[in-house]
């Protein structure tokens, strides 16, 4: 990113607000009973196998890429709704939305929903470190979309979706569909990757 781009996106006051949101998310996740790191005892920074208890327990996993896509989507949508808002404050709004999602995603209701209607049969919630990394991934996605603008970030979005579909038989769009309106045939196809 050029210095000018960096200056528009990362300003001191908005970054402080992002830091407060980040810390508040960690506290709320802790109060929900989330563990800090993988309880299975593996302290690797990543886990690439979505079919193990390590999924969503390390800093990075395949679903980190969907959180980058959250940031891309949020860049587009926030830009449509808040055209006059300074870019740095749009980033704060994206981080706030993602922080709220991470806390909601780790509620008993959403965890049970994932276990019932998606391929995540053994899902028991994210570790705090994974949730915080997901928030950072969202911010990275927002910054990437800002740098690439709409068409190139759309190509990135679609390419990432396709890679995830072939790699893990899941993606952001499939995840949204399965949470809102589960399709049994889609779930059967996803389970075939196990």
What confidence tier does 194 reach under pLDDT thresholds 50, 70, 90? low
Can you give the pLDDT at residue 190? 87
Of 10-14, 116-120, 141-145, the one with minimum mean pLDDT is: 116-120
pLDDT, one tens digit per residue, over 149-167 is 999 999 999 999 999 999 9
Classify the C-alpha dihedral 114-180-153-85 as positive or negative. negative
36-53: b (≥16 Cβ within 10 Å) or e: ebbeeeeeeeebeebeee
Length of the chain in residues, anyone?
A: 194
> Is 68 strand, coil or helix?
helix
Chain CA centroid to CA 101, Å: 8
What confidence tier does 98 reach under pLDDT thresholds 50, 70, 90? very high
Note the pTM of the prediction, 2 decimals: 0.93
Label residue 124 exposed, middle or buried (CB < 10 Å: 0-12, 13-18, 19+): middle
Residue ranges per domain, the chain?
3-191
pLDDT, one tens digit per residue, over 41-91 is 788 899 988 888 888 999 999 999 999 999 999 999 999 999 999 999 999
Q: What is the DSSP letter of 46?
A: B
């Amino acid at each position: 990113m050029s210095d000018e781009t960096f200056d528009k996106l990362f300003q001191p006051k908005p970054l402080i607000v992002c830091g407060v949101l980040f810390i508040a998310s960690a506290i709320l996740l802790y109060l929900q009973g989330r563990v800090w790191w993988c309880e299975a005892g593996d302290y690797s920074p990543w886990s690439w196998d979505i079919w193990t208890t390590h999924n969503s327990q390390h800093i990075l996993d395949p679903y980190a890429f969907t959180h980058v896509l959250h940031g891309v989507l949020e860049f587009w949508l926030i830009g449509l709704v808040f055209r006059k808002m300074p870019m740095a404050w749009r980033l704060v709004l994206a981080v706030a939305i993602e922080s709220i999602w991470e806390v909601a995603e780790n509620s008993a209701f959403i965890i049970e929903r994932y276990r019932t209607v998606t391929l995540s049969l053994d899902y028991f919630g994210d570790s705090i470190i994974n949730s915080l990394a997901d928030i950072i991934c969202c911010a990275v996605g927002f910054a990437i979309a800002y740098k690439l603008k709409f068409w190139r970030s759309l190509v990135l979005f679609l390419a990432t979706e396709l890679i995830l579909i072939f790699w893990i038989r899941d993606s952001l769009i499939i995840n949204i569909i399965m949470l809102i309106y589960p399709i049994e045939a889609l779930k059967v196809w996803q389970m075939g990757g196990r």
